[in-house]
Amino acid sequence: TAIPQLIEMLEIAGSVITIDAMGCQKDITSLIIKKKGDYVLALKGNQKLLYQAVKEWFEVAKKSDYLGRDYSPA
């Protein structure tokens, strides 16, 4: 409960907030977006579907030399 309270108190517009796996919650990310901030969150393997999707995305990005092309994993 401390993280949302801290975010509420801070001016985070234009900032990038980093949070470890304990803080990876939809309510927290929604609050950061609402306050015009961006975020980087830790992703662990216990989130199997999300982990696999992100892993595949990076594999595709690597094959395209990270050029921002519109590729989707098969």
Q: What is the pLDDT of residues 4-57, one digit of tens each?
A: 999 999 999 999 999 988 888 899 999 999 999 999 988 888 889 988 998 998
Which residues constitute the domain of residue 26? Answer: 1-42
Statement to judge: residues 49 and 16 lie in one domain: no
Statement to judge: residues 31 and 50 lie in one domain: no
pLDDT of residue 74: 54
pLDDT of residue 60: 86
- The DSSP code for 35 is T
Statement to judge: residues 38 and 49 lie in one domain: no
Statement to judge: residues 17 and 31 lie in one domain: yes
pLDDT of residue 73: 56
CB within 8 Å of 51: residues ≥ 6 apart: 43, 44, 45
Statement to judge: residues 26 and 1 lie in one domain: yes
Q: Are 39 and 31 in contact (CB under 8 A)?
A: no
- The structure's pTM equals 0.70
Residue 44: is it exposed, middle or buried by C-beta count within 10 angstroms (0-12/13-18/19+)?
exposed
Statement to judge: residues 59 and 72 lie in one domain: yes
- As for how many domains the chain has, the answer is 2
Statement to judge: residues 28 and 53 lie in one domain: no
